[in-house]
Chains A and B, each alone.
Chain A
């Protein structure tokens, strides 16, 4: 079975020998020619230490992790670059903190120079309080970066029309928010997320707002191709344990989505047949 909207193969066999539930090998996430067996993207922000970050990356199973670009601090201890390259993950530089297309484009170009990747998680923020995307600036920056050869994954609102416009200018995926960054409010408009999945033919990565494992599972059940979690893991009481929870939630949600859930009904449907019921 192939899901034509995402170009990903649905699993044909959901079990493995040791009883652990794992996504089958062929059910890979494809973004612009790259393939990932994990459907969990990890944000590196907010971890209390590089050691915890390294352990959380390993436990999350994530193969694609975000990184930001900031002024170098010669006094900083430890190297994030070293930790990430030791983790064997692919870097997804972000343009966090940019409020204009101009700044975001420059930041993306600097990230390409620093990390030797054409991938960019494009963020163009509208204000400090909500950190919500600024749609016109985002679209402008996306178009410019695509034209410059970038593989653009825009952080966007949960607006299906904007998602479609972003894909129209050549974005390789869309990353709609569930709720504001770091809010942990989960997916406020699941209908829109489902609409986005129907509106575009590139991977949909639920980004921002994830609070706990059930939010990640819901995103996958709604049809998202992947989930990105940052604060939900990094700021959990036990980040490493939460990384593990998110990994399993994403796998469970994906399996449930591809398994095909039962329709919701207002009245009960007996699961035990009435046939042969004795009369007392």
Chain B
């Protein structure tokens, strides 16, 4: 299991961020998206190869209206 945007999500250790993106309807080329894993930025170029550890905290963020 991992924690995806604050909620438990059924991803196994060793799966890549690509799989997480796909579950959100995104791809590695979706514009305006950024990902942090355990409070570290994961550059876009690494999304296809970055493998998740069990219990990883993943934040997938995008543009929202704001001040």
> A residues touching B (Cβ–Cβ < 8 Å)?
43-47, 53, 66-72, 74, 79-81, 84-85, 91, 94, 96, 106, 109-111, 113-115, 123, 181-182, 208, 230-231
Contact = CB atoms under 8 A, between A and B. Distances in A.
Given A46-B65, A110-B36, A113-B44, 19 more contacts: A44-B67, A45-B65, A45-B67, A47-B65, A68-B64, A69-B34, A69-B63, A70-B66, A72-B5, A74-B24, A79-B32, A80-B32, A96-B67, A110-B35, A110-B59, A114-B33, A115-B32, A123-B67, A181-B67
B34 A113 contact: yes
A230 B31 CA distance: 24
Interface string B32-67: 111110010101100000000000000111111111
B10 interface: no
A123 B67 CA distance: 10
Given A72-B24, A74-B24, A106-B39, A66 B62 contact: no
18 contacts: A44-B66, A45-B65, A67-B65, A67-B66, A68-B63, A68-B65, A70-B62, A71-B5, A71-B6, A71-B60, A74-B24, A79-B63, A81-B62, A106-B36, A110-B35, A110-B59, A113-B43, A115-B32
Contacts of B44: 113
A113 B33 CA distance: 8
A97 B59 CA distance: 16
Interface of B: 5-6, 24-26, 31-36, 39, 41, 43-44, 59-67
B58 to A, nearest CB: 10
The interface centre, meaning the residue of B24, B26, B36, B66 with most chain A CB atoms within 10 A of its CB, is B66
A96 B39 CA distance: 17
Given A109-B41, A110-B41, A69 B64 contact: yes
B66 A72 contact: no
Given A71-B6, A72-B26, A106-B41, A80 B33 contact: no
Given A81-B31, A106-B41, A110-B34, A115 B66 contact: no
The dominant DSSP class at the A interface is mixed
B41 A113 contact: yes
Contact of B63 (A80, A109, A208): A80
Given A71-B5, A72-B33, A110 B63 contact: no
B65 A111 contact: no
A69 to B, nearest CB: 5
